[in-house]
Structure 1
Amino acid sequence: MIKVAVCGAGGKMGSRVVNLILNDQKMRLVCGVEKRPPDWKSKTIFVIDLKDVINSVDVVIDFSDPDSCLRHLEIAVENKKRMVIGATGFNDSQKDLIRDFSSEIACVLAPNMSIGANVLFVLVEQMAKIFFDYDTDIVEIHNNQKKDAPSGTAEKIAQIIYNINPKQKIDIHSLRMGDIVSEHTVIFAGKGERIELIHKVNNRDVFAQGAIRAAKWVVNKPAGLYEMSDVLGIARYMR
């Protein structure tokens, strides 16, 4: 049985991960980690500091914030524990730190852990190769409580397109409205035609299920930085 600690367990995503782990016969929730443990009733044990429980876990799943996540990653590295990072909003220097840390432990870093979004990444890469001279924009919509903009998923899509065509100008349009979970549209527009790739999420459980799948996958992997495409076995379709 895989023993897991969930960082950011009181948030929208972390709480969904906790709920699914509690109903998974192959995993055991050791605890949730929160700066301020939630006051709602829960069967989950909460701690403030990951250090207090790190020796009791096999994998850390993190849906906290960038600064907290890096502290948790450092603790995981010190104790040689695997990690799955679903937190977003990292700047370039923070991403570099994650790459450095992953030379010592196995770490899955994914801005979007849904299967559909990762298939979208594959499709975007193929489309960018075909429609390299088309105008290309990204529209991403999330709920009005989401803090970072643009989303990590939109940034990854833009990076995929840039890797194919560094001269391509890509604008990301971010909207924060109502309780929309996640929607990403990639538009390729040429003369007389337009192609759109759209991915919509209506339930956060698809992200939580992806995080749990990643945790089960990474637990026996050697040190390195992995993506969901590795977890899903579709990395070979990417450039």
Structure 2
Amino acid sequence: MDDVLRILIHGASGRMGQALLRLAAENPALGVVAAVTHRRPVARVVQGVAHFAASELHGVPAFDVAIDFSLPAGFDPILALCLERKVALVSGTTGLSEAQRGALQAAADSIPVVWASNFSLGVAVLAELVERAAAALQGWDCDIVEAHHVHKQDAPSGTALTLGQGAQAAGAAPRYASLRAGDIVGEHLVQFTGPGERLELIHRASNRDIFARGALHAAQRLAGKSPGLYRVRDLLD
């Protein structure tokens, strides 16, 4: 059992938390030692996993990496706990304030951390390809078109904005378009258009489990690394 990665899941009652619990249970290399929820859990142990309320965070057992998909209000305590115990943090919590982003950056001096708006491994590769294309195709039009389900509130999506930031840093001037329709999980098209030709880079998500799988992959690669702020694509190999 010494080679099993001990994981704490913070935000375990949410959709991502539930997916993380389910998928981690299928991987013998992973062991969830604690699941933390905002409210007091109805049962202390569920399918072999100990459950804790957020107010009981400091009582959780030893762990190697925390995976956090909670709310901004819960981010500071889990970051503080990881710093206190000198363990890695994987976070996909969105809506962080500038102060919280600064705290995350400062924490990277002491522990390995990764934050991402999208943990899909395919999107991580897409981001790298977009930057390479933008740098090589100077002066070409750059358009980012994203599509999601009708219930998604923000537009453009966080992933589209991240892709656009990478393209802009490489010299492009991205424009955005958004579509909200049906039950689309997530699609992102980055199009570069020049005289007489067009390059399209596309990622389509058909199942939300890809985000949980990506977070678990990142956790396995991040644990034991030197302190620093990592991107998902830094953890692909």
TM-score bracket, shorter-length normalisation: 0.7 to 0.9
Percent identity reads 37
What number of residue pairs does the alignment pair up? 231
- For each residue in 1:146-186, what CA deviation from the matched residue of structure 2 results, as whole angstroms up to 9, or x when unmatched? 45443332122111111111xx4323333333322211111
Residue 61 of structure 2 is aligned to residue 58 of structure 1: no
Please report the TM-score for the alignment, with normalisation by the length of structure 1: 0.85
Q: Unpaired runs of 5+ in structure 2?
A: none
Aligned residue for 1:194?
Answer: 198
The 1:22–1:100 alpha-carbon spacing in structure 2 relative to 1, beyond 3 Å, is: same
> Does the 8 Å CA contact 2:185/2:206 hold for their aligned counterparts?
yes
Counterpart-to-counterpart distance in 1, 2:146 and 2:60: 36
Residue 84 of structure 2 is aligned to residue 78 of structure 1: yes
> Does the 8 Å CA contact 1:60/1:82 hold for their aligned counterparts?
yes
> Does the 8 Å CA contact 1:3/1:57 hold for their aligned counterparts?
yes
Residue 178 of structure 2 is aligned to residue 174 of structure 1: yes
Counterpart-to-counterpart distance in 1, 2:193 and 2:41: 47
Aligned residue for 2:219?
Answer: 215
**TM superposition shift of 1:61:** 0.4
Counterpart-to-counterpart distance in 2, 1:68 and 1:206: 24
Cα RMSD for the two superposed structures: 2.5
* 2:88 partner amino acid: R
- For each residue in 1:173-220, what CA deviation from the matched residue of structure 2 results, as whole angstroms up to 9, or x when unmatched? 333333222111112123443322110011122221111111111111
Secondary structure of the residue aligned to 2:168 is: helix
The 1:89–1:123 alpha-carbon spacing in structure 2 relative to 1, beyond 3 Å, is: same
Aligned counterparts, 1:10-29, within 5 A: 10-29=13-32
Aligned residue for 1:155?
Answer: 161
Which residue of the other structure, out of 124, 148, 164, is the alignment partner of 1:118?
124
Counterpart-to-counterpart distance in 1, 2:5 and 2:129: 33
> Does the 8 Å CA contact 1:10/1:37 hold for their aligned counterparts?
no
Which residue of the other structure, out of 126, 131, 134, is the alignment partner of 1:128?
134
**TM superposition shift of 1:18:** 0.9
Please report the TM-score for the alignment, with normalisation by the length of structure 2: 0.86
Counterpart-to-counterpart distance in 2, 1:118 and 1:29: 25
> Does the 8 Å CA contact 1:89/1:148 hold for their aligned counterparts?
no
Counterpart-to-counterpart distance in 1, 2:228 and 2:136: 32
The 1:180–1:46 alpha-carbon spacing in structure 2 relative to 1, beyond 3 Å, is: farther
Secondary structure of the residue aligned to 2:86 is: coil
**TM superposition shift of 1:232:** 0.7
The 1:15–1:148 alpha-carbon spacing in structure 2 relative to 1, beyond 3 Å, is: farther
> Does the 8 Å CA contact 1:138/1:172 hold for their aligned counterparts?
yes
Counterpart-to-counterpart distance in 2, 1:130 and 1:63: 36
Counterpart-to-counterpart distance in 2, 1:172 and 1:127: 17
- For each residue in 1:4-40, what CA deviation from the matched residue of structure 2 results, as whole angstroms up to 9, or x when unmatched? 1112222222211110111211111122222136879
Secondary structure of the residue aligned to 2:183 is: coil
Secondary structure of the residue aligned to 2:139 is: coil
Q: Unpaired runs of 5+ in structure 1?
A: 234-239
> Does the 8 Å CA contact 2:23/2:213 hold for their aligned counterparts?
yes
**TM superposition shift of 1:111:** 2.3
> Does the 8 Å CA contact 2:190/2:200 hold for their aligned counterparts?
yes
